[in-house]
């Protein structure tokens, strides 16, 4: 049985870095997220083309008394209901029309609120994933996020 959650937000930044800003939809390609500056292009690998983070972890990253919005740790795709921490390298996840494969764990250094600029260090080392794009496609909030294969 496939584990299914949902896409909460998709985020980009023309400048790169943290934070990223919520958009209506993104196109995932082998090179990454359309409209997003890829900080890792210098590594000449697509293994870090997309970053994912659990929406549930934002409850633990409070800034100014409230959880910050998706994109505050610099992720491209925020998901709910998948339990990313329980997945492993090689796991494939269908996101909307696209499919990604988890390649490396990722613990952002800090969260930055996109509206106030206030920062909070990620002292707990809350982690997400970097992923490569296996199948290009469109991803938008409310799309299904389904674990297709857990290696």
* pLDDT digits 0-9 by tens, 12-33: 998 878 889 999 999 999 888 9
The answer to whether 102 and 111 are in contact (CB under 8 A) is no
pLDDT of residue 39: 53
d(CA 20, CA 71): 5
CA atoms within 13 A on the CB side of 111: 27
pLDDT of residue 41: 56
- Does a cis peptide bond (omega within 30 degrees of 0) precede residue 144? no
The answer to whether 37 and 85 are in contact (CB under 8 A) is no
Fold of the 3-149 domain:
M1 Pyruvate Kinase; Domain 3 (2.40.33)
- Mean of the pLDDT values across residues 48-76? 90
Residue 113 has pLDDT above 60, yes or no: yes
Residue 136 has pLDDT above 80, yes or no: yes
d(CA 57, CA 120): 13
């Amino acid at each position: 049985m496939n584990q299914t959650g949902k896409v909460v937000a998709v985020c980009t930044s023309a400048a790169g870095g943290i934070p990223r800003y919520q958009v209506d939809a993104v196109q995932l390609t082998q090179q990454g997220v359309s409209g997003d500056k890829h900080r890792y292009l210098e590594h000449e690998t697509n293994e870090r083309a997309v970053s994912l983070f659990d929406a549930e972890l934002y409850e633990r990253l409070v800034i100014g008394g409230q959880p910050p919005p998706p994109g505050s740790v610099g992720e491209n795709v925020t998901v709910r209901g998948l339990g990313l921490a329980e997945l492993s390298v090689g796991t494939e996840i269908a996101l909307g029309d696209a499919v990604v494969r988890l390649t490396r764990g990722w613990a952002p250094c800090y969260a930055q609120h996109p509206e106030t600029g206030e920062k909070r260090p990620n002292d707990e080392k809350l982690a997400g994933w970097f992923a490569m794009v296996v199948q290009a496609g469109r991803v938008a909030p409310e799309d299904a996020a389904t674990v297709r294969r857990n290696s």
